[in-house]
């Protein structure tokens, strides 16, 4: 039975999985409890009962093929250009004849995907088998018998304490598409609209801040990836002398627009999320990691930061709505 298609993948005991990284080449495959971080996986036949499994969408990275691979005893999604030849790029997928509709996912060297907890962020493991389990599973791969869960519990030395069975639920969601160029107001999902204001004694900059009235921005695509943009002030928000100027991360992790025409604005990657109409805004230059916009208060005048994710911060302060103006 072929299982090729677009799916959400769910551990039968601990729930759905997704990815836990942004703007990088290596994304841990983890348990998730949030609908905005559930992974969409493309399962493609690779011959000899094997399949490639790639993540094509979550809120943590752009829609692209991230091949599932092992590193040590953990599973990651890795950009195809970053993969090496030593790690398996395809997986055996066998239905459990004792639990129809449930499957095991196994590498070419007979190690299983498994999950030890449903706690968000728990990484999918890559587990080896005991000698007896290995003997049984090789019989399945050779076609001499069908797979059944009891084959993994046929050894008194069994150390497989994690849950190895998985469900594949067809996904109806399409991967998110790039933001269309246009005139927009920009609002933080948690803390509201942003505008610009003079930066106190230093009038060389307009700070990008929380405000009751939203600024209007002209958003235009640049480059060849389809995800990179210039974000510039519209003349309805500022004077004609300041229009078409865009923000930059040029003030110690704070977002500001330089009034000096000689100061170049940054180019931004506007990253669509699975939560419809929401985005992350990241610095295209990843020399220092995936820096992105965040607004941690709705108090008027709070400046937008350009910073890293931290596990202690509500992720919705990093999610943005672009509304047509």
Residue 325: burial class (beta carbons within 10 Å; 0-12, 13-18, 19+): middle
* Cβ neighbours for 87, distance < 8 A, ≥ 6 positions apart: 69, 70, 71
Which tokens sit at 151? Answer: 């084959």
State the pLDDT at residue 309: 63
pLDDT at position 183:
96
In the predicted model, is pLDDT for residue 126 greater than 50?
A: yes
Q: Sorting pLDDT into bands at 50, 70 and 90, what band is 64?
A: low
Mean pLDDT of 42-54: 89
In which band, very low, low, confident or very high, does the pLDDT at 212 lie, cut at 50, 70 and 90? very high
What local confidence, expressed as pLDDT, does residue 288 receive?
61
Which ranges in the chain are annotated with CATH 2.80.10.50? Answer: 5-170, 182-324
Angstrom distance (rounded) from CA 124 to CA 272: 25
Is pLDDT at 265 greater than 80 in this prediction? yes
**Tens digits of residue pLDDT in 275-303:** 778 898 988 876 666 788 999 899 999 99
* Contact between residue 321 and residue 277 where contact means Cβ atoms under 8 Å apart: yes
What is the CB neighbour count within 10 angstroms for residue 311? 6
Q: What per-residue confidence (pLDDT) applies to 25? A: 63
Average pLDDT of the segment spanning 122-130: 89
| Mean pLDDT on 129-137 | 87
> pLDDT: is 288 or 314 the higher one?
314
pLDDT of residue 86: 46
pLDDT at position 122 over 70:
yes
User: Is domain 182-324 classified as CATH 2.80.10.50?
Assistant: yes
Predicted confidence at residue 248, as pLDDT, reads 84
pLDDT, residue 275, reads 74
| Residue 21 pLDDT > 70 | no
Query: Are 215 and 230 spatial neighbours (Cβ–Cβ below 8 Å)?
Result: no
pLDDT given for residue 82 in this prediction: 52
Bigger pLDDT: 25 vs 69: 69
Contacts of residue 125, defined as CB under 8 A and 6 or more positions apart, other chains included, come to 73, 74, 75, 113, 114, 115, 116, 162
Q: Alpha carbon 270 to chain centroid distance?
A: 13
CATH number corresponding to 5-170 = 2.80.10.50
The pairing of beta strand 103-106 with beta strand 268-272: unpaired
Q: What is the tens place of the pLDDT at every residue in 137-151? A: 898 888 888 888 788
Residues 258-276, mean pLDDT to the nearest whole number: 82
Both tokens of 162, joined, read 């994690």
Does the CA dihedral 210-215-216-221 come out positive or negative?
negative
Confidence bin at 59 (pLDDT 50/70/90): low
Is the pLDDT at 162 greater than 80, yes or no?
no
pLDDT value at 53 more than 50: yes
- CB distance 266 to 249 below 8 Å: yes
> Which run of H or E residues covers position 30?
strand 26-31
Structure tokens at 318: 């990093």
User: Mean per-residue pLDDT for 264-283?
Assistant: 85
Task: Tell me the pLDDT band of 23, cut-offs 50, 70 and 90.
Answer: very low
pLDDT of residue 186: 97
pLDDT of residue 187 exceeding 60, the answer is: yes
Q: What percent of the chain has pLDDT over 70?
A: 82
322, 273 contact by CB (below 8 A): no
Q: Which residue has the higher pLDDT, 240 or 40?
A: 40
Tell how far CA 106 is from the center of its chain: 24
- The reported pLDDT for the residue numbered 58 is 64
What six digits make up the tokens of 195?
């505008």
Q: Does 182 have pLDDT greater than 60? A: yes
Q: How far apart are CA 30 and CA 125, in angstroms?
A: 9
Q: What is the mean pLDDT of residues 185-199?
A: 92
* Residue of 140, 78, 145 lying closest to 104 (CA atoms): 140
């Amino acid at each position: 039975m072929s299982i090729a298609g677009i799916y959400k993948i769910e551990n039968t005991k601990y729930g759905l999985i997704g990815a836990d990284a942004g703007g990088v080449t290596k994304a841990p495959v983890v348990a998730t409890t949030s609908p905005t971080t559930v992974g969409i996986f493309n399962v493609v036949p690779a011959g000899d009962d094997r399949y490639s499994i790639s993540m094509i969408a979550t809120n943590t990275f752009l829609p692209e093929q991230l091949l599932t691979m092992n590193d040590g005893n953990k599973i990651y999604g890795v950009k195809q250009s970053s993969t090496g030849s030593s790690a398996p790029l395809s997986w055996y997928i066998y239905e459990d004849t004792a639990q129809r509709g449930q499957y095991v996912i196994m590498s070419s060297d007979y190690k299983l995907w498994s999950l030890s907890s449903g706690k968000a962020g728990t990484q999918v493991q890559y587990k080896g088998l005991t000698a007896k389990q290995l003997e049984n599973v090789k019989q399945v791969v050779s076609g001499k018998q069908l797979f059944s869960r009891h084959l993994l519990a046929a050894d008194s030395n069994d150390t497989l304490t994690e849950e190895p069975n998985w469900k594949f639920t067809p996904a109806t969601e399409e991967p998110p598409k790039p933001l269309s160029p246009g005139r927009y107001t920009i609002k933080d999902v948690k803390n509201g609209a942003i505008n610009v204001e003079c930066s106190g004694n230093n009038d060389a900059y307009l700070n990008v801040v929380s405000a009751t009235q939203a600024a209007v921005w002209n958003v235009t695509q640049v480059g060849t990836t389809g995800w990179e943009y210039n974000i510039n002030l519209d003349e309805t928000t500022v004077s004609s002398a300041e229009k078409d100027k865009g923000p930059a991360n040029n003030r110690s992790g704070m977002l500001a627009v330089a009034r000096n025409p000689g100061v170049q604005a940054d180019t931004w990657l506007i990253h669509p999320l699975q939560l419809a109409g929401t985005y992350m805004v990241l610095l295209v230059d990843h020399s220092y990691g995936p820096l992105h916009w965040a607004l941690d208060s709705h108090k008027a005048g709070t400046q937008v930061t350009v910073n890293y994710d931290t596990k202690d911060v509500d992720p919705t302060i990093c999610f943005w709505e672009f509304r047509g103006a």
